[in-house]
Structure 1
Amino acid sequence: MPRLTARGIAFLVVAVGLGALAYVLERPELLPIAAIAVAAPLIALAAVASSRPRVRVGRQLEPVVATEGEQVQVTVTVSGRARAAEWVERVPMLPGFAGPGRLREVTGARPSSLGYRYWPARRGLALVGPLLIEDRDPFALALRVTDTRAVVAQLVLPAVTPLPVGPVPDPSTDAGPRTSRSRERADDDVVTREYRDGDALRRVHWRVTARQGELMVRQDEPQAGPHARLVVDTQSIGYRDAQLVRDRLARGQRTASSPTFEWIVRMAASAAVHLAERGYSVELDTPTERGADAPVADGPVGDVLGELALLELATRAGDLPERAAPGAPPIVVIAGAPDDQTLRWMLAQRSGRAPAVALLAGPAAPGVRADGSLDPDPVRDSFERAGWAVARVSIRRAPDDAWLALLGEQLGDLPDWALPAAVGRG
């Protein structure tokens, strides 16, 4: 819908003032000037209204799947009919738009194109567009903004930091899941169920069948190759800095925000890529439900990165099953200050003596010991008593520094904030 600009409104104000002066001062020669001042913005409105653009918009993004903070080149192609005008495009980066720029005249035989760069402000599915075409008259008295409505969704992955060799052993080492002992333990811990008509005999688990006295089959096909489990705390109760904020990039919606959680997601993405580079297939697990239709990025952990891109703080819907994961994969827990039930669930994920590490971020939630004394970090203490490698780090530190905090042999080169639990208590 066309509207007057500030200049057009000023013309109307001047016209009203001149008309009033003409009658008060009895100066009829001011009336023609007032009439011109009124007619000019009205004619401008009519001219703008008659020139509505009729266009189709297409976009090309490079790269198609972006990373948080990474530069994205956007090329917009406008076809159809539109006269030369200004353009602005909404993008998921503060202040929320790209431009303004000049769009040259578009005809049926000559489409127009424009380009710009933007840097995604956060992970998730980012909406690029729509393109807004701002058509003005030659004197800028009237304005018509045409919303082309065409948008494109872009997957923005959390930023990944290369990690050094850390506390999780390579699959080829004696501590890794490729040893005969680990394979045997994985075979014992596989999830099974009763045999049903139609089940393939190759899925029968003969060792469990012998113990149970009836045919038992594998619930899932055994995963080929070594795998590791990445556990991320997604409960809002576990983050003391979590709060609801009005999100300008989400079109004014209120979303849960936590700087600690965002750091943890970036740390989890870095750990997933690191584990994949070491030869593991990575499985992500959280205490809250996740969407089943998360997009998949490229690479060996594309599914995990896609899930991490959409990961949000939530509230647990029910009780968590406190049982170990099938097999004996290495467990990497990344959390803030989980509640008691979530902590027990995390501790129960470990099978036997499988490698297990816990990286805790942000401030701890102090508790009270059985003897009544103050426990400054009960979560860290629980992991340590269970034999996990554990450290609590500040979210101001880079993920590679935080990863090194889990290595006891390199403590002499680390700052005080990164010392593991055992050393921190002297």
Structure 2
Amino acid sequence: MRRRRPLTGRGAGALVAALCCVIAANVFGTRILLYIGLLLAALTLFSLLAVRLPRRSGTVTRQISTDLLTVSETSRVTVRISLRALRVPHGLWHDILPAAVAGDSGGEYPPESGQLTYPITGVRRGVWPLGPLMLRTVDPFGLAQREQAFGETRSITVVPEVFALAPLAVRVGAAGGTAHTSSTRLGQGSDNLSPRGYIPGDSMRRIHWRATAHRGQLMVRQEEEESSPDAVVVLDRSAGRWDAPGADADPAFETAVSLCASAAVHLASEGYSVDVIDSAGTLLGALRGHEDDRDGLLVALAMVAPRGEGRDLAALIGGTPPGPLVFITGRLDEEDAARLRPAGAAAPMLFSTELLPGAAEAATPHGWTVATLGPVIADAWEDAVSARIGVGDVPR
């Protein structure tokens, strides 16, 4: 953060003029120029002391209208400052914004409303510092200035944008589809247990005491198979697939992260239990229908960056193939595409930001529906879904 000079341009000019008047008075022997020079120097010094000597301290609190700021989303920041000073200073305030956030975060102080508010728009995902609050005051003559920071910084999380996507074909959907897979979960919870009458030989540990008391006869817990369609979204962030990181974000990788978030949220809305992993097998998020799952995934995706090498896809998925499998990658050549196997997934879809010659032809025989991921995420998804419908009857 660049510090302002104690003197304004006018103040620096007045000081230079005072020096010139003193020199001219000695050269030409004109006493009036000496008086003018001393007066300008004294006025500049007085202005400097007037803005620098008063002691000021204060605390700053910020409130953002949204907990998570989405890229391209506009939110409002409310700033409250408790300033302790001999008199209320008049000047200009501005809140320091990171380059990842755009907004007009400045105005006149003190404000008429009693609080400082300004809009911000997410530009680049990540976790960024917001603040501190700067207050700039100038003396009445405009010769000296003072800029002082108040309060601490606050972190703001900018998450990837989530787009609305076209529904999958019913054949691979969760509601009545025949191509989806399901996980069998057995447990002791109330959601997947139903009581039945006691049969000699049943373990006493399985007695359902509440049902026994309600029905007046001995009842035991009976586990039922719970159908829970599974989906997997894989974000390939292997360093070799993307441009080397620099000061600016890689647009292709940002689009891939946004598709990852959009696909996961969309599949969860269609009834799937969604696991989101990266190419190294790290779990980025799991959507199981809880309110916090979506926010947890978006926060994790806000901080991902290309790094490392990828693992074999079959090893990432494990022994139970999912229904929909969404694999999102960057540059993909023919050799890597030929090694990419969907591991028995019922509906594998492959998205690449840069399909090199022969890559699509090498991946299609393995069952992939291949689509190029361009700037418009919804169009790429719709292309893949449309192609998926055309191959939906092909046996795996």
TM-score of the superposition, structure 1-length normalised? 0.71
Aligned to 2:229: 226
Residue 383 of structure 1 corresponds to: 363
Show the counterpart of 1:279: 271
Does 1:176 find its partner at 2:180?
A: yes
Secondary structure of 2:247 counterpart = strand
Residue 309 in 1 paired to residue 302 in 2? yes
Figure out how many residues of one structure are paired with residues of the other and give that number: 340
Partner Cα separation in structure 1 for residue 301 and residue 257 of structure 2: 6
1:262-411 correspondence runs (5 A):
262-288=254-280, 298-316=291-309, 323=315, 324-329=317-322, 330-338=324-332, 347=341, 350-361=342-353, 363-365=354-356, 376-378=357-359, 380-393=360-373, 395-396=374-375, 398-408=376-386
Q: Is the 8 A contact 2:132 2:150 kept in 1?
A: yes
- CA deviations 1:55-74 (Å, max 9, x no partner) are 10001100121211111111
Distance, in Å, in 2 between the alignment partners of 1:263 and 1:105 is 40
Q: Does 1:32 align with 2:21?
A: no
The reply to whether residue 127 of structure 1 matches residue 129 of structure 2 is yes
Provide the residue aligned with 2:9 in structure 1: 6
Identity percentage over the alignment?
A: 28
Looking at structure 2, the residues matched to 160 and 386 of structure 1 have their Cα atoms a distance apart, in angstroms, of 29
SS at match of 2:350: strand
Give the structure with higher Rg (CA): 2
Partners of 1:74 and 1:112 in 2: CA distance: 14
C-alpha separation in 2, matches of 1:165 and 1:95: 32
**1:252 counterpart residue number:** none
Preserved contact between residue 8 and residue 142 of structure 2 (Cα < 8 Å): yes
The equivalences for 1:147-296 within 5 A come to 147-166=149-168, 169-172=172-175, 173-178=177-182, 225-239=228-242, 242-246=243-247, 257-288=249-280
The AA in structure 1 aligned to 2:304 is L
Structure 1 pair 58/149, CA: closer, same or farther in 2 (3 Å)? closer
Residue 71 (str. 1) matches residue 74 (str. 2): yes
The Cα of 1:97 is off from its aligned counterpart by 6.4
Query: In the alignment, what sits opposite 1:115?
Result: 117
Residues 73 and 227 (structure 1), Cα distance of their counterparts in 2 relative to 1, 3 Å cut? same
Supply the distance in 2 between the matched residues of 1:114 and 1:170 (Cα, whole angstroms).
Answer: 49
Partner letter of residue 91 of structure 2?
A
User: For 1:159, what is the secondary structure of its paired residue?
Assistant: coil
* Maintained 8 Å contact 2:369/2:388: no
Pairwise CA distance, 1:144: 1.4
Question: Partner of 1:337: helix, strand, or coil?
Answer: strand
Contact 1:333 1:359 in 2 (8 A): yes
1:100 is matched with 106
SS at match of 1:138: coil
State the partner residue of 1:198.
none
The 10-residue stretch of structure 1 (96-105 or 73-82) with the greater mean CA deviation from structure 2:
96-105
**Paired residue secondary structure (1:402):** helix
**Deviation, structure 1 residue 260:** 0.6
**What is the distance in 2 between the residues matched to 1:78 and 1:176?**
56
Cα deviations across residues 329-388 of structure 1 (Å, max 9, x unaligned)?
A: 1311011214789767853xx343532111112x333xxxxxxxxxx132x233212111
Asked if the contact 2:15/2:41 (under 8 Å) is kept, the reply is yes
Aligned pair in 2 of structure 1 residues 95, 156: CA closer, same or farther (>3 Å)?
closer
Distance 1:104 1:407, change over 3 A: closer
Report the counterpart of residue 205 of structure 1 in structure 2: none
Rounded to whole Å, the distance in 1 between the matches of 2:347 and 2:389 is: 20
Q: After TM superposition, what 4+ stretches of structure 1 lie above 4 angstroms from structure 2?
A: 93-97, 288-294, 297-300, 318-322, 338-346, 408-412
SS in 2 for 1:91: coil
Rounded Cα–Cα distance in structure 2 between residues aligned with 1:230 and 1:292: 10
Is the alpha carbon distance of 1:99 and 1:177 closer, same or farther for their aligned partners in structure 2, counting shifts above 3 Å?
A: same
Which stretch of structure 1 is more off in the superposition, 41-50 or 71-80? Answer: 41-50
> C-alpha distance in 2, partners of 1:321/1:165?
25
Contact 1:164 1:404 in 2 (8 A): yes
CA distance in 1, matches of 2:285, 2:388: 41
- Mapped to 1, the partners of 2:387 and 2:276 lie a distance apart of 28
TM superposition shift of 1:99: 3.7
CA distance in 1, matches of 2:67, 2:136: 28
Give the 3 Å change call, closer, same or farther, for CA 306–105 of structure 1 in structure 2.
Answer: closer
Shift of 1:224: 7.9
Deviations 1:216-272 (A, max 9, x none): xxxxxx998322111111123212xx244336xxxxxxxxx3111111111111111
Give the gaps of 5 or more residues in structure 2.
Answer: 186-204, 206-224, 392-396
- Aligned residues of 1:276 and 1:300 also touching (Cα < 8 A): no
